[in-house]
A = this chain, B = another copy of it.
């Protein structure tokens, strides 16, 4: 289905499938980033957030990941008849609060109500506009990545996906599980004072870290090597992942960023990341290599190496 859809859209719209989550556009001489996402997460409320927080964070992060400064958000609501106003109020309140945190304004919106069984409670679409400074344009394309660069993840992997799974399956564990959903633009701005030190950023959503790393290398004259032992994963996430046969490297996050940074500045950037709540567990997990060009490799704890592949299908439907 996904492949067919992409063929349909790409063919008719003349889009090119690239790494970017946002489109770079130019209006009246200004460079902007522009993005959209529909949110159909089930359940609507989950530990750590709800569909509204997810929508604002997701759109802010799609802009931030390109180096853009998120400015404005639009929202479209499709609501099933009979949906509780009290729940809608909580969701909208949380959108407003996340927008405030991220320094973006929700400026335009639309609401459609459909009959019972014509939508599953509530779907939200958000789009976003960000300002893209000239000296950050390389961050979206990754064109300055070179061997020796260090690879950093902003925190633990798999929290969002496993939280949604647990809610849906009614799993009770001894551990506290919570989605990591959060806007990350305050985190990215923290390290963008010297944008030339940042080679690439990407929020680690559908497809997980593995898919991003494989995509970055594809057809390039460099490789990537990361160390399994350095990848931060919560014990609760690891144990549920094992139970279901999931690899946290492929799981979706909603408040995690991958950074590729200039080698000499890695420790300084790490310290800057650690000053933000959303980056307190940031870790250097590997580097860009001259070897195995075009291929991302995982070095296991016991020293073995294996190729990191892209995620083929979809592990969990409706996680965002």
- Interface of A with B (CB < 8 Å)? 1-2, 4-5, 8-9, 12-15, 22-23, 25, 27-32, 34-40, 71-72, 74-79, 81, 85, 88-89, 92-93, 95-96, 99, 105-115, 117-120, 123, 125, 127, 129, 131, 317-318
Contacts and interface: CB of A to CB of B under 8 A. Distances in A.
A170 B56 CA distance: 42
Given A27-B71, A114-B318, A119-B119, A89 B36 contact: no
Pick the most buried of A14, A30, A110: most chain B CB atoms within 10 A of its CB.
Answer: A110
Given A74-B127, A127-B74, A131-B28, A23 B107 contact: yes
Given A29-B30, A129-B34, A120 B114 contact: yes
Given A23-B74, A25-B71, A25-B72, 15 more contacts: A1-B81, A2-B111, A5-B85, A12-B92, A12-B93, A13-B109, A14-B96, A27-B129, A36-B125, A37-B76, A38-B77, A40-B112, A40-B114, A119-B119, A123-B123
Contact of A118 (B13, B88, B120): B120
Nearest to A120: B118
25 contacts: A5-B88, A8-B88, A8-B92, A12-B95, A13-B106, A15-B106, A25-B105, A27-B71, A27-B72, A30-B30, A34-B72, A34-B108, A36-B74, A36-B76, A36-B108, A36-B109, A36-B125, A40-B118, A76-B76, A76-B125, A78-B123, A114-B317, A115-B317, A119-B120, A127-B127
A4 B8 CA distance: 39
A125 B27 contact: no
Contacts of A108: 15, 22-23, 34-36, 127
Contact of A27 (B32, B95, B110, B114): B32
Contacts of A131: 27-28
Contacts of A74: 23, 34-36, 127
Contact of A25 (B22, B96, B129, B318): B129
B92 A38 contact: no
Contacts of A30: 27-30
Q: Which of A4, A72, A99, A109 gathers the greatest number of chain B CB atoms within 10 Å?
A: A109
A296 B71 CA distance: 39
A78 B114 contact: no
A104 B314 CA distance: 32
A15 B109 contact: yes
Which of the listed residues A1, A14, A31, A125 has the most CB atoms from chain B within 10 Å of its own CB?
A125
A28 B92 CA distance: 28
A29 to B, nearest CB: 7
A107 B23 CA distance: 6
A20 to B, nearest CB: 9
Contact of A13 (B37, B92, B117, B129): B92
A90 B317 CA distance: 26
A199 to B, nearest CB: 23
A311 to B, nearest CB: 16
A38 B118 contact: no
